[in-house]
Amino acid sequence: MSKISPYFDYQIDESGKGFLSVNVRGMEVLRLTATNKGTAFTYEEREALGLDGLLPAAVVTLDDQVNRLYKGFQRQVDDIEKYQFLRALQERNEVAFYALLERHLEEMMPIVYTPTVGKAVQQFSALYKIPRGLTISPQNIERIDQCLDNYPWNDVRIIVATDASAILGIGDQGHGGLAICVGKLALYTSGGGISPFHTMPVNLDVGTDSHKLLDDPTYLGIKQPRLSGKPYFELMDRFVDHVEKKWPKAVIQWEDFSRAVAFEVLERYQHKIPCFNDDIQGTGAVVLAGLLSACKMQNKSIADQRVVLVGAGAGGVGVARAIKAGMMKAGLSDEQARKQLFVVDIEGLLVDGKNIEPYMQSVSQFESTFADWGIEGEVPTLNEVIRYSGATALMGFTGCAGLFTRKMVQQIHKNADQPIIFPLSNPNANCEASPQDLADWTQGQAILATGSPFPPVTYNDKDVRVGQGNNAFVFPGIGFAAVLGKCKRISEEMVLESAYALSDYTEEHYLAKGMIYPPIAELREVSIQVTTRVLETALEDGSSDREEIRNINLEEYVRSRSWDAQYLPFVAA
């Protein structure tokens, strides 16, 4: 594969400066999102590429374009219109889109990703205008090689793939899940430094069990019940096998799979290809980082905490696994760590040998732990766990708005001067408690984090910080490290290190200001640190065997390989 794309390639001139060699002309240059610079084409480029007369006379800079585009963004009347504005820009001019996003990331991230992307997913078929990414379904899986060859980028390094069975707390969304993958990859580029021309969003359209979608005449996905069991994994196996054959070092991030298959998909492929599940591992890492930072704020160890996690889906169990790993890293045994973790599902506390599925086993509780609690049922309820466990931290992954009550939170406050309360469900409407209520119920003492951004809150004129435990702080760094390391796998140690890198960054820059996560505006700098630390771990544990980078300054290497949104000179091929 000699070119990034059939349409253009990146080359370096004799002085060491990069340029694009373009082999299309005229309107085709302006219609391709990767080659369109619009009014920023120089007069020389316009003449060489057959654009003379096709553009206004003025030649402007990228900064001029971004300023004009930002004014257009501000004119949009609601979040969905803002989302559509940005998606249209991305399909018109890729570099300008990322330049705009990078300059206004904190403002625009809730638009391109959670919470607005959830609304866009639900309206995907109605909003659909321009194709992006790859759709694999039972209708074309037999032609998977041709489908992969049809994709416009030749050298894919990062793939975000979903079967859309469990999207952001809104469930089975069928073909609409593709919007999630597009949004994630936008963050890989703007936040992580991955070139957009090495990425691929994939919807594994295996059907849907949503009657609303199946009965919708405008629905664009395959209209059949979801595949399951053997047919489902036959399709998945073919997809993975053929991606590995075409792009052997491509990293796959599994996204928004239901708990029924998420752990099985991860376990099935994690030793075959470099892959990870963001809902399980990314969520686990980012929440662990927040907990570590909260412990530093308390001048305590994670080994001192007793944590109640509500919700035993992919996210909840992934977080429990990460916290257990953090407790063991702090010196506890596996058994000791499990005795300080209380994972509660709709049926009550997960108990070893009782109401659990195999993926829950490693974080289930022992019967001996609650033998003297005097509970009424076979396993403790959430209220009983909070009452008797001595919990110092409470975390939610349920999508059940208002689940955390004043009584629950105040019980935890009795056990800790600064209770750690993380209602992490997305979108905001599904959050287990509002940050303002949590501040009021704890006299402003709670250490808070949510999954989506919330406005600042106060208690008696005191500002109470609300951290945003967003996976974007870790997944771009994990993926980019795996790309740069040409990793054969993504190890648990690599994922765990991302949590410590994020916590250390926060401690260095923001902990003294009462923050347990950095601001989203610093996502690129955070990702540089996470990428560097994860890459170091990959080299240490053998996930990467790139000996030629082992003894160099890895942070400088990561920075040198990061993509920036800027126009390069164009030369006619």
Over residues 302-352, the pLDDT tens digits come to 999 999 999 999 999 999 999 999 999 999 999 999 999 999 999 999 999
DSSP letters for 367-435: GGGGTTS--SSSS--HHHHHHHS--SEEEE-S--TT-S-HHHHHHHHHH-SS-EEEE--SSGGG-SS-H
Look at residue 391 and tell me whether its pLDDT is greater than 70. Answer: yes
Look at residue 83 and tell me whether its pLDDT is greater than 70. Answer: yes
Q: What is the pLDDT of residue 452?
A: 86
Q: What percent of the chain has pLDDT over 90?
A: 94
Which residues 6+ apart lie within 8 Å of 292 measured at CB?
Answer: 302, 326, 499, 500, 503
Specify the pTM: 0.96
Cβ–Cβ under 8 Å, residues 210 and 142: no
Task: Classify each residue of 413-448 as buried b or exposed e, where b means 16 or more C-beta atoms within 10 Å of its C-beta.
Answer: beebeebbbbbbbbbbebbbbbbbbbbbbbebbbbb
Look at residue 355 and tell me whether its pLDDT is greater than 80. Answer: no
> For residue 2, which of 139, 154, 141, 181 has the smallest C-alpha distance?
154
Look at residue 2 and tell me whether its pLDDT is greater than 70. Answer: no
Residue 280 has what DSSP assignment? I
**Nearest-10 Cα torsion for 482, 186, 527, 66:** 140
Peptide bond into 427 cis (omega under 30): yes
Split at pLDDT 50, 70, 90, the class of 428 is confident
Look at residue 467 and tell me whether its pLDDT is greater than 90. Answer: yes
Question: CA–CA separation, 160 vs 192, rounded Å?
Answer: 14
Bridge partners (DSSP) listed for residue 69 = none
Task: Let me know the angle formed at the C-alpha of 521 by 41 and 508, rounded to the nearest 5 degrees.
Answer: 135
Split at pLDDT 50, 70, 90, the class of 505 is very high
Look at residue 512 and tell me whether its pLDDT is greater than 80. Answer: yes
Strand order in the sheet with 307-310: 348-349, 341-345, 307-310, 393-396, 420-423, 447-450, 466-468
List 37, 82, 119, 184, catalytic entry: 184
Number of alpha carbons in the 13 Å side-chain half-sphere of residue 483 = 28
List 7, 83, 98, 113, catalytic entry: 113
Q: What is the pLDDT of residue 1?
A: 40
Domains in the chain (CATH in brackets) are: 8-60 (1.20.1370.30), 63-273 (3.40.50.10380), 281-472 (3.40.50.720)
Tokens representing residue 253 in the block? 């991030």
DSSP letters for 93-115: -HHHHHHHHHHTHHHHHHHHSTT
Q: What is the pLDDT of residue 301?
A: 98
113 is catalytic: yes
Bridge partners (DSSP) listed for residue 270 = none
Split at pLDDT 50, 70, 90, the class of 169 is confident
Residue 568 has what DSSP assignment? P
Amino acid at 366: F
- Provide the H-helix boundaries in 151-282: 178-190, 211-214, 229-246, 259-269
> For residue 537, which of 502, 494, 568 has the smallest C-alpha distance?
494
The 3-class secondary structure across 433-497, one letter per residue, is: CCHHHHHHHCCCCCEEEECCCCCCEEECCEEECEEECCHHHCHHHHHHHHHHCCCCCCCHHHHHH
3-state helix, strand and coil shares in percent for the chain, rounded to the nearest 5: 50, 10, 40
Mean pLDDT score, 217-243: 97
Number of alpha carbons in the 13 Å side-chain half-sphere of residue 547 = 0
Instruction: Give me the chain's average pLDDT, please.
Output: 96
